[in-house]
Amino acid sequence: MAALFLDVDARHPITLPDGTSYTNTVWLKAVIDHPNIEVGAWSYYNDFDPVTDYAARIAPYLHPGAPERLRIGKFCQFAHGTRFITSSADHPKRWFTTFPFAVFDYDLMAHFAEAFSQGRDTVVGHDVWTGDGARIMPGVTIGNGVIIGSGAVVTRDVPSWSVVAGNPGRVVRRRFPDAVCARLDRLAWWNRAPEDIRSLVPLLASADVPALDAALAERGL
């Protein structure tokens, strides 16, 4: 059986019919080396503008050594303009001023150290698709199989298999009935061996519930 995605470490995974690489799309795991960012295999990002630093492009406020992390699962799909606004972008909101004086005068850091150390991780599950210009705000956890509409601003956690739209983003529906979502969670195809994932593609490219049940039974799930 052919392997799935022959080179997971390729920078540009799409080859056009004429044999040239489609350079707008990258496997994020192959192009990001950042101590605060974790990316699962086969998650991609597409951008129509030149990019020299993909970590800075998708998470522009996350610097090495920041108190928060960005964790991205496998098989995620991020459209042009997707941005993760991480906790380091935040300013104190309970004080009389929001101005971060200590950024410009380190001698004032004692007044800001506690506020600056309260970063919250942003977590993205597996098989998540974000549309053009989506914004994911600090500390959000996005479940598996979520679809986030173009221009949505996600300010709170999103349960698995949901569709999110708007500003502020809200869950407009679940993608499938609860019982089907539970079956998909049991299958957890993104964690299976590449050869098994490839064998599941005909099922994954459908909404065939009996076939899903058969695949679960075949795997003792």
The pLDDT, as a whole number, for residue 114 is: 86
- What are the phi and psi torsion angles at 142 (to 5°)? -110, 130
What is the rounded CA–CA span in Å between residue 209 and residue 140? 31
Q: Let me know if 175 is exposed, middle or buried by CB neighbors in 10 A (0-12, 13-18, 19+).
A: middle
- Closest by CA to 126, choosing from 101, 160, 150, 98, is 160
Q: Which residues are catalytic?
A: 91
The predicted structure's pLDDT at residue 131: 98
3-state helix, strand, coil in the chain (%, to 5): 25, 20, 55
Q: Which residues of 17-40 are buried (b: 16+ CB within 10 A; e: fewer)?
A: eeeeeeeebbbbbbbbebebbbbb
Which residues on adjacent β-strands are paired with residue 123? Answer: 71, 141
H-helix or E-strand containing 172?
A: strand 170-174
Superfamily of domain 25-175: Hexapeptide repeat proteins (2.160.10.10)
pLDDT values of the chain reduced to their tens digit, one per residue, 221 residues: 455 666 788 899 998 999 999 999 999 999 999 999 999 999 999 999 999 999 999 999 999 999 999 999 999 999 999 999 999 998 988 899 999 999 899 999 999 888 888 889 999 999 999 999 999 999 999 999 999 999 999 999 999 999 999 999 999 999 999 999 999 999 999 999 999 999 999 999 999 999 999 999 999 99
Beta strands in 31-80 (DSSP E): 37-39, 44-46, 70-72, 77-78
How far apart CA 89 and CA 15 sit, in angstroms, is: 36
- CA dist., res. 112 & res. 102, Å (int): 7
What is the SS3 assignment for 72?
strand
For strands 77-78 and 129-130, give the pairing.
parallel
Q: Around Cβ 110, how many Cβ atoms within 10 Å? A: 9
Q: Is the peptide bond before 60 cis (omega within 30 degrees of 0)?
A: no
